[in-house]
Structure 1
Amino acid sequence: MTSSNPSSDLTGPWHRGARELAATLDPGGRLRAGMGGRTLGGPVTVKDVQGWLRVMAAPRAVGKIWEGANLADVLLTEEIPRPALLGELTWNDENGLVFQAHLWERLQGRELSPTPNLTAPAPVTDRWWDDLRIALDHLHRTPDPAGRQVMTQDYIDRIPRFIPALRGRDLTVERWETSHGDLHWANLITAPLQIIDWEGWGSAPAGYDAAVLHTYALTEPATAARVREVFADVLDTPSGRLAQWVICAEIIQAADRDSLHARLKPHVELLAEELLVS
């Protein structure tokens, strides 16, 4: 796309997807961009069923992100709570772009945060924490999705560029597990628990999901402490410490690109140092 605001180019495709899936934009409903402007979504109704229609554009109909939602719908069990996929559609335009429309069940609860990090303590119950732990245990026992990786060993070997104190350490991942890959607070729903945005799921170092959740909670110490309590057996291990260093490095790397990660950077630098002596 040539537009400086890619989501603006998706308005027409979004309405095409709605027509072909017999979906009607809710009165007063607003279309919302996501994923860096590469997607556009909005609330719809289909035969009295409330849904959410999202359209994505790509140069080719291949790749981890393109295939992620459909594979998650097929391969992940019902014990992992997430919106049901009600319908999907793909098509090409005259410029060679390919579009994908997904019609999802409307979220039953509410998002915990509009941004990946927390700006207030997470308003969740003990039952929510229990349900999250159970859901992630089911996810991490899911057979490795062939060919899908959240990150590679090659990337992990390079994280001392961002955490110099790790130079000379053996950063080999001893255990990989099926992971959400982007388990921050904007991808979690409460009342009831649901986990959304499965485009990037795949194999990651054991403990990575808990590490991401903890790191993006560092601006709210009470919630961060609860994450550490719920996932202590995951985080307080050699594998868990490596997973935490990985997400710390990712956030430090991203700090030069946006203000959200720049605000998190001092917190993760401190965490990375603390992990060296734990």
Structure 2
Amino acid sequence: MTLPVSAGRAVDLRVEPVDEVLDRVERSLQVRLALETVVRKRRSVGARTDRDTWVRVERRVLDKISDQGWNGTESATRLKHITQPAWQGCVVWRDPAEPVMWRADETELLPGSPVGTAVLINAPRLTDTWWQAFNDSLDALAEQHTRRVATPDTVAITQALVTETISTAFPSGFDTTVERWAPAHADLNWANVTAPTFCLFDWEDWGNAPRGLDSATLWGSSLAVPALADRVWQERLHDFESRDGKLMTLFTCAKILGPGAHPEDPRLEPACLRAEQILSELQTG
């Protein structure tokens, strides 16, 4: 049984009861969920179905649903030349007890397993073919067009957010104005890509963002494994060498080094070193 949750309390679906939610999803989509395959994350729950598909269920408070909606997985189906799981359908409903919406999206199964957690501490084995598919998808995504605005961590990314986030960790004295905005996945980490076959999934937050956001985000998720971080940097060098890419690198470093920094985060030192380099380049360039 799902207990009522007050709007003021943070909810973590890794520990909240979700039996009633999953029952409703099964009835609405006319599927049976394989409970032994359930994966629980902070704001989503996923499971395999009896028709060899995957269902991802997300809880989102109304204040976090913008005018563009929150149909990222559905709207991403129109993107071309992107390796992603095909979308099948969905069900959406308003929670009767609190200002919350629930959404369940059904997609085809992933072609492999997630590479790891959002932040890796062990190097994965990724082939050159994998990296080529990764680059092809990111390059294709950046060339497409949308009116959606990316919402990393469910917050719309704006010029003001970029400037504010960078300023929380680094002194001002340089221009933080973004020059190019382009479509981005906006949650590109190692938990949202598969191997040995590449596939990019969890498209809930995609939309326009500063060039280089995805590259910088994945690089930041790799910093505890220096060789992996270096590989991401080299693969996406054309992003990182652009002015916007440098801003997004600082944006990522600021999230690691800013007020919420954890003293034992293994990414602190490499993020600090890279940030010092980028700051020098921006202030003298």
Specify the SS of the correspondent of 1:81.
coil
Q: Is the 8 A contact 1:14 1:54 kept in 2?
A: no
The structure richer in helix per residue is 1
Secondary structure at the aligned position of 1:249 is classed as helix
Alignment partner, residue 158 of structure 2: 152
Which SS does the other structure have where 1:29 is aligned?
A: helix
Shift of 1:95: 2.0
Contact in 1 for aligned 2:46/2:56 (Cα 8 Å) = yes
Paired residue for 2:32, among 3, 6, 24? 24
Question: Separation in 2 of the partners of 1:112 and 1:19?
Answer: 32
* Structure 1 residues 1-278: aligned runs within 5 Å: 1-2=5-6, 6-7=12-13, 8-26=16-34, 29-34=36-41, 36=42, 38-46=43-51, 50-60=52-62, 62-63=65-66, 66-73=70-77, 75-77=78-80, 79-95=81-97, 97-113=100-116, 115-148=117-150, 150-165=156-171, 167-253=172-258, 255-256=260-261, 262-278=265-281
What letter corresponds to residue 203 of structure 2 in structure 1? W
Residue aligned with 1:164, SS: coil
- Structure 1 CA distance for aligned equivalents of residues 150 and 246 of structure 2: 23
2:219 is paired with a residue whose SS is: helix
Aligned AA (1:72) = A
| Cα deviation, residue 249, structure 1 | 1.2
Letter in 2 for 1:159: T
TM-score by length of 2: 0.84
Q: Distance in 1 between the 2:217 and 2:199 partners?
A: 17
Looking at structure 1, the residues matched to 233 and 38 of structure 2 have their Cα atoms a distance apart, in angstroms, of 36
Shift of 1:235: 0.8
Identity across aligned pairs (percent)? 27
* TM-score, reference length from structure 1: 0.86
SS at match of 1:102: strand
Measured in 1, the distance between the counterparts of 2:144 and 2:60 equals 28
**Paired letter, 1:101:** A
The residue matched to 1:276 in structure 2 has which SS? helix
Q: Distance in 1 between matches of 2:160 and 2:224?
A: 30
Could you tell me how far apart the structure 1 residues matched to 2:194 and 2:249 are? Answer: 23
Structure 1 stretch displaced more, 130-139 or 81-90: 81-90
In the aligned structure 1, how far is the partner of 2:101 from the partner of 2:213?
32
Number of paired residues? 266
- Residue 232 and residue 86 in structure 1: after superposition, are their counterparts in 2 closer, same or farther (change >3 A)? same
Q: What are the superposed Cα offsets for residues 165-220 of structure 1, whole Å, 9 maximum, x if unpaired?
A: 4x111110011111111111111111211001111111111111111111211111
Secondary structure (helix, strand or coil) at the match of 1:54 reads: strand
Deviation by residue 1:10-68 (Cα, 9 ceiling, x = unmatched): 32111211122121123x6242222x2x322212112xxx1121222334494367222
What is the distance in 2 between the residues matched to 1:135 and 1:86?
21
**How far apart are the structure 2 equivalents of 1:118 and 1:148?**
24
Residue 120 of structure 1 aligns with an amino acid whose one-letter code is N
Distance between the aligned counterparts of 1:126 and 1:24, measured in 2? 38
Task: Provide structure 2 residue ranges, at least 5 long, that are not aligned to the other structure.
Answer: none
Q: Provide the aligned C-alpha RMSD in A.
A: 2.4
Distance 1:98 1:111 in 2: 27
CA distance in 2, matches of 1:190, 1:250: 27
Cα gap change, 1:161 to 1:141, in 2 (>3 Å): same
- Tell me, what secondary structure is at the counterpart of 1:12? helix
Displacement of 1:253 in angstroms is 3.5
Contact 1:144/1:202, CA 8 A, preserved across alignment: yes
